[in-house]
Structure 1
């Protein structure tokens, strides 16, 4: 899962990165 997320972040624009990072952090806490 981590590898998949990293690939998504690399492809995602900087703007989407902020939202994606917040969602990623939430998933990590859960």
Structure 2
């Protein structure tokens, strides 16, 4: 149970990081 929550938490961090870098790239290109 705890392991699943931790995994989901890490997955969320990765998702946010990817989203942030994608936003940065699109801002740089525009």
Higher helix share: 2
TM-score, normalization by structure 1: 0.49
Greater RCO (CA < 8 Å, at least 6 residues apart):
1
TM-score, normalization by structure 2: 0.49
